[in-house]
Structure 1
């Protein structure tokens, strides 16, 4: 894949390392030895030796120049591989997941995400394209995921007539990797210097009372904008959960999510489908039919009628409706086909939320990272280092 050109605003001045000390000494010693031999052999031989030395020096210069070019090209190429170039378009591209002419004209950025649960070797490659209009930015994301995971902890009717949710037996708390959903996340820097240097790793902290650690920024006032697409809870209603990360430390009593928080909302969202005693579903799909799908659109829910189900039938455990307010800023479309997940995300370049990254300056780069959750509640694959987006 040809890497996109890097904008001048993010080009780094290349500084080449000095040659190895041993190499300099070796060249100096050989040159001294040649001079000694030339002095012993007389003027004629010296002229021949001088010509040989000139040839050798010329070759050395050519090799050195080649080395410099190679190092600069290699470093520039490495930088380009971490840069997503957003191209301007006059109108919105296709938002159904297809790659139309506009998307195909956008240079793709492919990066490896690693360290995730359920993915082969814990890794997958994410290919992202970006476009923008006068007021909106669009992202087309694809990655390999062998399975479409939508069976998120459904209710199952038991042989004795009771209801139980499907659970991961290895889940020690907030760590379901068996009956969950596919998710994708992008995290953008708002005001964290540490993120500019280290990317997502600046906000990820292992241990601390949880199987997969916590998220929070290093200092007071530092925030990250987290775009959290959830295949069951937000995908069906065409949204990404707009969240953020601040510097709140984990506390089992007062801050179970540590620095991970959600933007304010005025309505909508997702809630558990359960009776007050949490022993059975409270609502059903239209006609009280069993799942799939594994979500119930709130506007279409019906009162649950236990008599309509036999042992082994499943009922969705989640009710979904569109977010309104700040938390509903991100629109999305998704598709899964032949082992490839596609997510298309769009948002206004500038919002009025203090919890959002603002793409108001099209001349500067924007640091971000990405994560893939393969049927995993928290154990995601992540992109190491810092990715940047620039507007062309």
Structure 2
């Protein structure tokens, strides 16, 4: 959910490109695009006396829930960030039910590939080094794709907490997209105005404005039947974000609160520290042959593992299945307590197939260690099934959580809630967006 320097221009352009596309997923075992169907921006949640099992299968209870048909589209920010993805559309449907305790959602969208192998570790025989696949498409100087992305299939929903963010009413998720806004760089003397075509994050426009952010990572958190519950705030306001051009980070996991102000420029707010949880990087730095140059290698592996895309944190504990890499040679041989791995014989640990669209050998290593989400971050239960043609994702959350920090949207009053929906397809940053949606509860 990125921004141009002219937010108004991009919002209008994006709304134009996402209107008028229809989709409906009508089969339990297949995601397809229908030839007809009504499109709207309103998702009607119906009351149910039978709570669905959160397992990714479509039970008969869902038959009474009308479908919202929409098509998130990748916008054109105009700076090359979404190159290779601009204009892509991800037809989807969404259904909702509720009871006295929970609100339930069922999302479906077409996807030709199941993308759960994220930034896989592989061995490059040309350099004799271990490397990771890119999380989005890579290009040469002429704009030709040199390697397809190895990002994650995922989705997100954004909600306006207590209608605290006024711009959300007209811009939905764009209300917190401030990347690429110009700023004054005071780290140099004299200070200079910078157009900023670089990095940045979401943040709101006022100290009282907060947005509830649900992330459905279909490679990692879904392993534990969880959807990541986060929130967005104003990241210190213009006194900070106006100086760093949108790179002020207003995205935080639930449960974190401001503790003070950083002593370093630009004096952004500091937050409490979250315990280790969720996806952790499976990466470390070692010296070649113990004394040479420092290189990056995976930290934990399953010595006999095939086609696995994560290592469980519990398997890294004493007696677990995983072993820790303790050394790497100048020829790429990895050592661990009790054995070694030589990646030079065959392609088990190397890239395979086509140079651009090919994959990785069956014994290549995952990029992350999986552990459950904790506390307020674990408010949303979810399950996902890849059907061969697309995703079916089922999830639920309490209508009113135990949140006392204004980091969750409260649905217990059954009032209309505006939201935005985004879909990532095999990419880390580039994604399709559908703003200006409304959830309404049928009484």
The 10-residue stretch of structure 1 (319-328 or 293-302) with the greater mean CA deviation from structure 2: 293-302
**CA contact 1:97–1:333 (8 Å) conserved in 2:** yes
Equivalence for 2:375: 325
The alpha-carbon deviation at position 388 of structure 1 amounts to 3.0
| Residues 133 and 388 of structure 1, relative CA distance in 2, 3 Å threshold | closer
**CA contact 1:240–1:331 (8 Å) conserved in 2:** yes
More helix by share: 1
Q: Secondary structure at the match of 2:441?
A: strand
Map 1:148-167 to 2 at 5 A: 148-159=114-125, 162-167=129-134
Equivalence for 1:112: 71
Is 1:193 equivalent to 2:245 in the alignment? no
The alpha-carbon deviation at position 389 of structure 1 amounts to 3.1
The 10-residue stretch of structure 1 (267-276 or 114-123) with the greater mean CA deviation from structure 2: 114-123
**CA contact 1:273–1:319 (8 Å) conserved in 2:** yes
Equivalence for 1:136: 102
Equivalence for 1:44: none
The alpha-carbon deviation at position 268 of structure 1 amounts to 2.3
The alpha-carbon deviation at position 139 of structure 1 amounts to 0.5
How many residue pairs get aligned? The number is: 308
Equivalence for 2:152: 181
When the two chains are superposed, the root-mean-square deviation of aligned CA atoms in Å is: 2.9
Question: How far apart, in 2, do the equivalents of 1:391 and 1:309 lie?
Answer: 61
The alpha-carbon deviation at position 177 of structure 1 amounts to 7.2
Equivalence for 1:258: 249
Is 1:370 equivalent to 2:434 in the alignment? no
**CA contact 1:157–1:309 (8 Å) conserved in 2:** no
Equivalence for 2:399: 349
The alpha-carbon deviation at position 212 of structure 1 amounts to 7.0
The alpha-carbon deviation at position 180 of structure 1 amounts to 1.1
| Residues 251 and 163 of structure 1, relative CA distance in 2, 3 Å threshold | farther
The alpha-carbon deviation at position 197 of structure 1 amounts to 2.5
Deviations 1:165-222, CA, capped at 9 Å, x for gaps: 1235459xxxx97121111001111021211222112222342445575322222210
Equivalence for 2:191: none
| Residues 390 and 212 of structure 1, relative CA distance in 2, 3 Å threshold | farther
Equivalence for 2:324: 304
Map 1:63-74 to 2 at 5 A: none
The match for 1:280 among 283, 294, 297 is 297
Question: How far apart, in 1, do the equivalents of 2:246 and 2:421 lie?
Answer: 24
Structure 2 residue ranges without an equivalent (≥5): 1-36, 76-81, 141-146, 182-195, 256-273, 287-294, 317-321, 326-333, 335-339, 350-363
The 10-residue stretch of structure 1 (238-247 or 306-315) with the greater mean CA deviation from structure 2: 306-315
4+ residue runs over 3 A deviation:
116-121, 168-171, 208-214, 249-257
| Residues 123 and 317 of structure 1, relative CA distance in 2, 3 Å threshold | same
| Residues 151 and 267 of structure 1, relative CA distance in 2, 3 Å threshold | closer
Question: How far apart, in 1, do the equivalents of 2:41 and 2:116 lie?
Answer: 31
